[in-house]
Chain A
Amino acid sequence: MSKPVRIGFVLFAIALLVSGAWIGLAWAPPDREMGHVQRIMYMHVPAAWMALLSATMNFGACVSYLWKASWKKDAFAEATAEVGLLFGTIAILLGAIWGRPTWGVYWAWDPRLTTMAILLVAYAGYLALRRFVDDPDRRAVWSAVVGIIIAVDVPVVYFSVKWWKSLHQVQSTPRTVDPQMVIALRWNAFAFLAVLIVFLVTRYRIALAARMRETTVPDAPAGAREAVAS
């Protein structure tokens, strides 16, 4: 992506985000039961979606890397993990902020929220692994392995937490949704997608530059001679 395109896209993302905020805060109607507090969903839900999207892309990058190694794939894996962690943290924080006035507590062992929290800790471990391995080749292979294991674990975690939780009372979230709310949600989802793309592209370029710096090739000497055992 050339620089003007990148800058243009950043502006586009900002525009979407700002308009989405207005739509979510002002234009959409307040919720029948929860009132204005519900508006936080317009950020919480897209953030969660982007986190999951990032995690999926990370899985793809990891599998792809193990199939055929390339620094681009490794850089992309690093970017998706970190950006996904960011969006996931936002999602959980917003969820907690929403939870206090609604449920009375900052945290409930809701299966989706719990899975997200576990996912975040897992990716924090992934990033810690990348930090603690110095050799770029091994770092790439090992984090690909860890990324795959995390991704495979996500549905298992979700299912087991759901089950575990269902032995106790269930937090239900009934949804009959006003069409204006749907529009607001979709608009913000696209806004978040644009922001995700901006963050990913930036982080990817940083990671790729770091890889290149770590693995620069010296020029081979002109006169490397073949040594033959005579």
Chain B
Amino acid sequence: MRRPGLLASTWVLFRKDLLLEWRSRARVNALLFFSLATLLLFSFALGPDTALLRRNAGGYLWLALLLASVLALGESFRVERENATLEGLRLVPVNARAIFLAKAVANAVLLAGLGGLLVPVLVALLDVRIVLPVGQLLGLILLGCLAIAAPGTLYGAIASHARARDVLLPLLLFPILIPALVAAAKGTALVFEGDPMGQFPSWVALLTSFDLIYWGLGVLLFPRVVEE
């Protein structure tokens, strides 16, 4: 019996994670409506000056995604704790790195999908224009969600085994994500308002380097997190 390599295992587990997310799509829907509710909350808390709201729309998008990510990541690992499936995977044996990659990518895809769906909401609710090409916005959203997913998956694994896990995950995650949040929000603001000074690529570069560093750390450290 030859075991599959890292990429093959990752692919199998990624499909499994997507299937799980699809099976619980009621939860995913709830997540979407949670994000909508968050955007409404921001609008009410900080409105009704529409010019102000429009200017800050980028920030609101990423705050909403960040809050939703805590719920999504928590759920992603609650599923694994139910029947100790994470241990079951380790004992197959599956390379722990494959588990990390699959889960992190699945979480990133889920969040990016959510982000994509929120864009038209922003356009409608806050009257934003998309000045730069839409592709750039979608790419930025994907990069930002990758940035959330990597440390989020790592910390999600840790928090799911600790007490007070609902508080611990955001407490651990948010400080780490501040650079990514800054870059993503600024980049999104540029997409909505135009980029006369050509700063967009720099923010993308910051976000990309953040992604590389944190995906590298995640792949490196995740095996230590799940071993006993």
Contacts and interface: CB of A to CB of B under 8 A. Distances in A.
Contact of A124 (B165, B171, B178, B213): B171
Interface stretch (A17-25, A138-146, A178-186): A138-146
A51 interface: no
Given A129-B158, A138-B161, A122 B221 contact: no
Contact of A152 (B155, B168, B174, B213): B213
Interface string B141-175: 00000000001001100100111110110011011
A133 B224 CA distance: 16
A116 to B, nearest CB: 12
Interface residues of B, number: 33
Contacts of B51: none
Nearest to A153: B176
Contacts of B165: 132
Contacts of B178: 118, 157, 160-161
A160 B210 CA distance: 10
A149 B224 contact: no
Interface in A122-178: 122, 124-126, 128-129, 132-134, 138, 141-142, 144-146, 148-150, 152-153, 156-157, 159-161, 163-164, 167
A152 B217 contact: yes
Given A124-B171, A138-B161, A145-B154, A163 B213 contact: no
Contacts of B13: none
Interface residues of A, number: 32
A66 interface: yes
Interface stretch (B21-29, B88-96, B179-187): B179-187
Nearest to B163: A132
A153 B179 contact: yes
A37 interface: no
A145 B175 contact: no
B159 to A, nearest CB: 8
A108 interface: no
B206 interface: yes
B99 to A, nearest CB: 15
Contacts of A119: 175
Chain A CB within 10 Å — which of B165, B168, B178 has the most?
B178
A157 B186 CA distance: 15
A121 interface: yes
A118 B174 CA distance: 9
B161 A133 contact: yes
B12 interface: no
B176 A132 contact: no
Interface in B177-212: 178-179, 182-183, 186, 199, 202, 206, 209-210
Given A138-B161, A145-B158, A128 B171 contact: yes
Interface of B: 151, 154-155, 158, 161-165, 167-168, 171-172, 174-176, 178-179, 182-183, 186, 199, 202, 206, 209-210, 213-214, 217, 221, 224-225, 228
7 contacts: A118-B175, A122-B176, A132-B162, A138-B161, A141-B224, A149-B214, A160-B178
Given A125-B175, A146-B172, A161-B179, 17 more contacts: A121-B174, A128-B168, A129-B172, A132-B164, A138-B228, A145-B154, A145-B221, A149-B176, A152-B213, A153-B176, A156-B179, A157-B179, A160-B183, A160-B206, A161-B182, A163-B202, A164-B186
